[in-house]
Amino acid sequence: MKRLMYPGSFDPVTNGHLDVIARAARIADEVLVAVARNSEKSPLFTTEERIELIRTVTASIPNVRVVTFTGLLADAVNEFQVSAVIRGLRAVSDFEYEFQMALMNRELNAACETLFMMPSPEYSFVSSRLIREIASCGGSVSAFVPPEVVEAVRKKMESRS
């Protein structure tokens, strides 16, 4: 059974993340979307909210499971018995950080292999950080995240104002 883990902050999940999840689900028996707890100091969404949103937007992909992990990704790989970690590479600018992280994770755990997937070019500029920034400035994020996330972001902004 080939189980892949797609770790991240997913604050919030974007169309780019979804593209990578769908691609990974086509080549793996099971994809674990792994939400890192405490990966951001002041997240927009709580871990539970992020998990719920990912569950909702991946509901149509049967071999996707949403999990969380605390601490090192290199340890989570053993805990969840995954064959490899998937990371998305949107642009060359992602490469340096991802390369460093992949090699460090393998140094920490020799079994921690990282596979890189390129999302569709239309998502190459989409990031959770920019989604949060656009939303906090009152802009529309509907072109970049699924409708359920648009609604969740709208409610979150309303509750903060």
In angstroms, the CA 51 to CA 53 distance is 5
Question: If you ran DSSP here, which 8-state letter would residue 156 be given?
Answer: H
Q: Which of 154, 89, 97 is closest to 123 using CA atoms?
A: 89
| Closer Cβ to ligand PNS, 8 or 152, answer by number | 8
Token pair of 122, please? 């239309």
- Pick the piece of the chain touching ligand PNS (CB under 6 A) from 3-11, 22-30, 52-60, 134-142: 3-11
Binding status of residue 124 toward ligand PNS by CB under 6 A: no
CB-neighbour burial class of residue 60 (10 A; exposed 0-12, middle 13-18, buried 19+): exposed
Binding status of residue 58 toward ligand PNS by CB under 6 A: no
Binding status of residue 68 toward ligand PNS by CB under 6 A: no
Binding status of residue 27 toward ligand PNS by CB under 6 A: no
Q: Least distance (Å) from ligand PNS to the CB of residue 14?
A: 10
In angstroms, the CA 88 to CA 78 distance is 21
| Closer Cβ to ligand PNS, 83 or 158, answer by number | 83
Residues in contact with ligand PNS by the rule CB under 6 A: 7-9, 36, 39, 72-74, 101, 104-105
